[in-house]
Amino acid sequence: MNQKTNLEGFVILDDTRGLLMKAAERLHRHFKDQLNLETIEKYVFESYELLDAKSEVKIYLPSLTERFAKDRLSALLKSDNLQVSDTLDVLFVCVHNSGRSQMAAGFMSQLGGDRVVVRSAGSAPRESISHEVIEAMAEVGIDIRQEFPKPLTDEVVRGSDAVITMGCGDACPIYPGKRYEDWVLEDPADQSIEAVRVIRDEIKKRVETLLSELLPA
C-alpha cells in the first residue's frame, strides 16, 4: 500500500480517488436508474471535500464519505420528487452535530423504526461526537458510536418533511411548506455526564411528542 504523509502529519492514501470512484459505482447500483453516475460522482467528491475540511481521522474518510453521500443523494431524490416515499424524513440540525442533534436523531431512529428516515447535520460541525454524549445515549440503550458530525447541505433540508433546529440560528435555511420547529436546549458541549443526562432526557420527551404528532398511531 503506497502512502504519503502530508505537512500536517496525517497519512493520506494515494488511492483515495480510486476508493471514491468505487464508492460512486456502488451508490450508482444502489440508486439504480434514478440518478446518473455523473451526478453521483459529483456528490461523492463534494461530500469528501466537505468532510475533509473538518475531519480529524483521515483514514476513515472514504467510508464516511460514502455514507454521507448516500444520505444526501436519498434526500436529493426525495426533494426532487423523483422517488415516491412512504417514509417520513426528519432532519435535526444544531451547531456542532456532535451533541443535541445526534441525541435527537438517535431517539427518533430508535422510536420511529422503519417509519422514519432520520438525518442530522451541524452548521459548524465538530471533529467528533463528544464522549459524554455517546455514554449518556449508551445508558439508555442507543449506540451512536458509528455516527459522525456532518455539515449542513441544501438537499437534506429540501428533502426533509420536518426540520428541527436547535440553536443554529440564521445558519439554517428555511423552505416554505415544511414543518419547522426550533428547540431551545442547552448545549451539552464540554459539560459533565450529569448535565448531558438532563439534556438527553429533555430531548427524548420532545422526540416522543414530535413523533406522536407526525405519525399518529
Exposed, middle or buried by CB within 10 Å (0-12, 13-18, 19+), for 85?
middle
Subset of 13-72 contacting a copy of itself (CB under 8 A): 13, 19, 22-23, 26, 29-30, 59-60, 62-64, 66
Q: How far is the CB of 201 from a copy of itself (least distance, A)?
A: 9
Kindly state the helix (H) or strand (E) to which residue 144 belongs, with its residue range.
none
d(CA 144, CA 119): 13
Other CB atoms within 10 A of residue 78 CB: 21
**What cell was used for 78?**
426525495
Comparison of 11 and 171: residue with beta carbon closer to a copy of itself:
11
Subset of 92-111 contacting a copy of itself (CB under 8 A): 110
User: 117: closest CA among 151, 162, 87?
Assistant: 87
Comparison of 150 and 197: residue with beta carbon closer to a copy of itself:
197
For this structure, is 94 an active site residue? yes
**What cell was used for 212?**
406522536
Regarding 195 and contact with a copy of itself (CB under 8 A), the answer is no
Which of 27, 91, 157, 172 is flagged as catalytic? Answer: 172
Binding residues vs a copy of itself (CB under 8 A): 1, 13, 19, 22-23, 26, 29-30, 59-60, 62-64, 66, 110, 113-114, 135, 138-143, 145-146, 197
Catalytic amino acids?
94, 168, 172
